[in-house]
Amino acid sequence: IGKNLVFMPECHSTNTHALQLCQESSTPEGTLVITDNQTAGRGQMGNTWEAHAGQNLTFSFILKPTFLRPHEQYSLNMAISLGLYDFLSAFLQQPVHIKWPNDLLADDRKVCGILIENSIQGSTLAHAVVGIGLNVNQATFGSPRAGSLRTVGGQSHALQEVLDVLLVALEQRYLSLRQGKTVQLKQEYEQVLFGLNELRPFKAAGEEFEGKVKGIDEAGRLLLETIEGMKVFALKEIEFIY
């Protein structure tokens, strides 16, 4: 990942740019698009992603996970989340959690978001654009739930050095996925889920209730133990209240 690198001083959204590059058959797997100033960053569920120019990492890379069937899409999400988890926990030496479906929390603050956009052709994943926003040196945030490597770890870092270490961690997890180690990835992913086995408030279909995160099912849906028994929630069906 990153051997073929496209750097842009400014860009609307590296995910959008990478999606365009996917249309060219000559674009190799691992191509990475990175910018210092993303002006229209996109987040999960139609949200925007704000990052102060020059202080954070905003990049996207292209994978060709043709070994995955469309119903296995979530395993790519797990591999990428775990790569970020590996990197953050080694780098910060502090507790890190994956908040389902794919936020990375350090010290309970979101330091990193992931936006994966897949394109399915027939019965395989032809390509996936993996977009990552990692807050590195930004010192102030509008929300107390957001942070950066600097606010959590207390130090600033050269963006290039952070990127180099992070890409190695992401590639290792992607290679495990390619080798078919999905069961192992799922076990590891579940162990580091935010709220695992803790009674916490949630909101679904306009109602608040308490539940314990127990893991995910094969499709990547969240399993919650509630007083009414085990419940399964798909993306967008449930929010954590925290």
Binding site for ligand BTN (CB under 6 A): 13-15, 38, 41-44, 47, 49, 58-60, 103, 113-115, 131-133
Task: Decide if 73 contacts 45 (C-beta within 8 A).
Answer: no
Between 63 and 114, CB nearer to ligand BTN: 114
Between 136 and 231, CB nearer to ligand BTN: 136
CB of 197 to ligand BTN, least distance (A): 24
Q: Which helix (H) or strand (E) holds 176?
A: helix 159-178
CA atoms within 13 A on the CB side of 31: 23
CB of 122 to ligand BTN, least distance (A): 27
Between 231 and 233, CB nearer to ligand BTN: 233
Between 43 and 215, CB nearer to ligand BTN: 43
CB of 128 to ligand BTN, least distance (A): 13
CB of 166 to ligand BTN, least distance (A): 13
| Cα 235 from Cα 136, distance rounded (Å) | 27
Cite the beta strand spans of 15-152 per DSSP E.
32-38, 41-42, 48-49, 57-63, 96-99, 103-106, 109-121, 124-134
Strands 229-233 and 48-49: unpaired
Residue showing the smallest CB distance to ligand BTN in the complex: 113
